[in-house]
Structure 1
Amino acid sequence: MNPLLSAAFVICWSSGFIGAKPGTADAAAVTVLMWRFVPLTAVLALIAATLGRDSWRGVTRRGILRQSAIGLLSQTGYLLTVYAAIRLGVSAGTAALVDATQPLVAGALAGPLLRQRVTGRQWCGLLLGLAGVAVLTAADAGAGRGVATWAYLVPFLGMLSLVAATFLERRAPADTPPSVALTVHCATSAVVFTALASATGAAAPPADASFWTAVVWLVALSTLGGYGLYWLILRRSGVARVNALMFLMAPVTAVWGALLHGEPFGVQTGIGMAAALAAVAIVHRGEGRVGGAGVPVRAGSGPGRAAASDTPSTNRRVRGAGPGRRYR
């Protein structure tokens, strides 16, 4: 993978956890999410009506309903649980750590569901990354900040929602352009979060400048930057490689949280970070030698569909190059 693209992706993706902290400090999670997606949906709808009309030609009602379901899982369910956990006091770094277990779950299911081969070396890397996640989570939980133990389980619900969205998208026909899928996902989230905020009396945004700064941060860096780079890197490199980068989100977010929000960063955090970095190196090296779980996509391949494997032992097409619709 292009190192610059990878670095930009890690920064943009991690920014979502950091931006959620000041946003949820001034308002409820549904308030932040409503005002994150309503303006974004309006902009995307305007772009679709003026510049992107060709992308919508041939998109069926079934395709829109399918993308709405994917967006409901990957954006609405996932983000609501992550933001709620951060508001309950779970550090941004720990929320990222829980999210980092998603590659292990997805890797375990990639074989039977996507017919993609995961090597022993890749499994070792993924397990090492999970160990790093456990060490970092234990460090945060033991920092004595008065966070309820059950609050650490909340982001796991979002991770499971994200896994479900990933495989729903990958088993679906590749008939929806990424720009259309993004618009549908954001519109679904805008409707759901607006309904939830209105029902709970939390639709009115606070007047604090920090709230609106967080909203702009989340839209520009987390949604547009993070999603766009995820799609690009996934098409170039495949599932296992981009999932390996997810282990970097935890240590990067932990550093950001310590510098910007005073979150705990000690010896255990450093150990967990080292384990996560080693996991990325192992998975990348393992996949470089054998085709691995992620099958590269040739330039010019249609959106959402991988090219034929270049590995001599497998001569079949693999579906599901589209992103798992992960968002921050």
Structure 2
Amino acid sequence: MSTPANTRLDAALLASMPVLFVALWSTGFIGAKFGLPHAEPFTFLFIRFVLTLALLVPLVKLMASGWPTGWRLKGHIAVSGLLVHGAYLGGVFYGIYLGMPAGLTALLVGLQPLLTATLAGPLLGERISATQWLGLALGLAGITLVLGSKLDPGAMLFQGFGLDALACVLVALAGITLGTLYQKRFCTGMPLLSGTVVQYLAAGVVLGLGALLLEERSIEWTGTFILTMAWLVLVLSIAAILLLMALIRRGEASRVASLFYLVPPVTALQAWWLFDERLPLAALVGMAITIAGVVLAVRGQVR
């Protein structure tokens, strides 16, 4: 029999779960910054996916989570995995590897809800509201302000990174945006846990080929690298997914979506504390404008 104290504790735990999920999610960019000095991006991600699958597959059996039915659905889930995990994580890790600050990377890929809400119109037949167009304009203005604050008169174009890093992160943004729309359109019957296994498997194969063909595959097995890998696998790829499953079952997914707006500033704060990544005032103003644009675009979506 539940007591008032137990009820209050359950309510407090439920309220803290979305915040915890977003706090954990934001550390993915920091993990990339810690681990990439010791391994190339595709090699890093391939090892991460192999270790994650080694833990996820037994977990699917333990939790009696059903597997996707039919090869058509499995194929669609694999394609979404290539976009959501392969292109997104590959682009993020390579962008940071090529010198883009973790905070700026998080801000750029944080445009995903804005682009998803905007592209849902032409791709999924949803009507785009005036509020969404205003959000898109604010988001682009904010990003322009942030990137403008990082301009370097020298040959690199930006301070500490070049167009190659920016291109990689834009690929990541396109991957997570198109992957979200693709999953919404074709993967509605996907079991979350076992579907994630299929996604990781598809992305892992492609990233493994990328590591084999494009990288030297050398790894420095330092304490920092091992701890970073353990964090990304156990906390981000396993715990965060289980936490998301619990939130969806409790009907809290919308709260998680709204808290994703906090990922860029939380990442920027962590990067400043851990790596002394500093953003000038103009960039901070641009970040605030961009986040406001994302909020407007998502909340202005016509239901």
Q: Which TM-score bucket, shorter chain as reference?
A: 0.7 to 0.9
The residue type equivalent to 1:251 in the other structure is P
8 Å contact from structure 2 (residues 52, 238) kept in 1: no
Identify, as 1 or 2, the structure richer in helix: 2
- Count of matched residue positions in the alignment of Structure 1 and Structure 2: 285
Evaluate the alpha carbon distance shift between residue 99 and residue 215 of structure 1 in structure 2; reply closer, same or farther with a 3 A threshold. same
1:170-189 mapped onto 2 (5 Å cutoff): 170-172=184-186, 174-189=188-203
Distance in 2, matches of 1:83 and 1:16, equals: 10
Distance in 1, matches of 2:182 and 2:69, equals: 18
Evaluate the alpha carbon distance shift between residue 130 and residue 242 of structure 1 in structure 2; reply closer, same or farther with a 3 A threshold. farther
Q: Residue in 2 aligned with 1:312?
A: none
RMSD of the alignment, in Å? 3.0
Offset of 1:19 from its aligned partner?
A: 0.6
8 Å contact from structure 1 (residues 94, 140) kept in 2: no
Q: Residue in 1 aligned with 2:41?
A: 29
Offset of 1:179 from its aligned partner?
A: 1.1
Q: Residue in 1 aligned with 2:138?
A: 128
Q: Residue in 2 aligned with 1:69?
A: 79
The residue type equivalent to 2:49 in the other structure is F
State the TM-score, normalized to the length of structure 1.
0.75
Q: Where do 5+ consecutive residues of structure 1 fail to align?
A: 296-328
1:11 to 2:30 alignment: no
Evaluate the alpha carbon distance shift between residue 29 and residue 141 of structure 1 in structure 2; reply closer, same or farther with a 3 A threshold. farther
Distance in 1, matches of 2:280 and 2:265, equals: 12
Q: Residue in 2 aligned with 1:149?
A: 163
Q: Where do 5+ consecutive residues of structure 2 fail to align?
A: 1-13
Evaluate the alpha carbon distance shift between residue 9 and residue 136 of structure 1 in structure 2; reply closer, same or farther with a 3 A threshold. farther
8 Å contact from structure 2 (residues 261, 291) kept in 1: yes
Offset of 1:34 from its aligned partner?
A: 1.4
Evaluate the alpha carbon distance shift between residue 110 and residue 65 of structure 1 in structure 2; reply closer, same or farther with a 3 A threshold. same
Cα deviations by residue, 1:224-277 (Å, 9 ceiling, x for unpaired): 3555556676784778x8665444322221111111111122212321243245
8 Å contact from structure 2 (residues 38, 221) kept in 1: no
Evaluate the alpha carbon distance shift between residue 155 and residue 44 of structure 1 in structure 2; reply closer, same or farther with a 3 A threshold. same
1:185-204 mapped onto 2 (5 Å cutoff): 185-200=199-214, 202-203=216-217
Q: Residue in 2 aligned with 1:158?
A: 172
Evaluate the alpha carbon distance shift between residue 242 and residue 140 of structure 1 in structure 2; reply closer, same or farther with a 3 A threshold. farther
Q: Residue in 1 aligned with 2:104?
A: 94
Cα deviations by residue, 1:68-90 (Å, 9 ceiling, x for unpaired): 11111111111111111111101
8 Å contact from structure 1 (residues 141, 147) kept in 2: no
Distance in 2, matches of 1:232 and 1:163, equals: 24
Q: Residue in 1 aligned with 2:6?
A: none
Offset of 1:100 from its aligned partner?
A: 2.1
Deviates most, 222-231 or 101-110: 222-231
Evaluate the alpha carbon distance shift between residue 72 and residue 6 of structure 1 in structure 2; reply closer, same or farther with a 3 A threshold. same
Distance in 1, matches of 2:252 and 2:65, equals: 28
Matched-pair identity in %: 29
Q: Residue in 1 aligned with 2:227?
A: 213
1:1-328 mapped onto 2 (5 Å cutoff): 4-48=16-60, 50-53=61-64, 55-56=66-67, 59-142=69-152, 145-172=159-186, 174-200=188-214, 202-203=216-217, 205-227=219-241, 236=251, 245-279=259-293, 282=296, 292-293=301-302
Distance in 1, matches of 2:187 and 2:131, equals: 31
SS at 2:186 equivalent: coil
Q: Identify the structure with bigger relative contact order (alpha carbons < 8 Å, sequence gap 6+).
A: 2
Deviates most, 29-38 or 2-11: 2-11
State the TM-score, normalized to the length of structure 2.
0.80
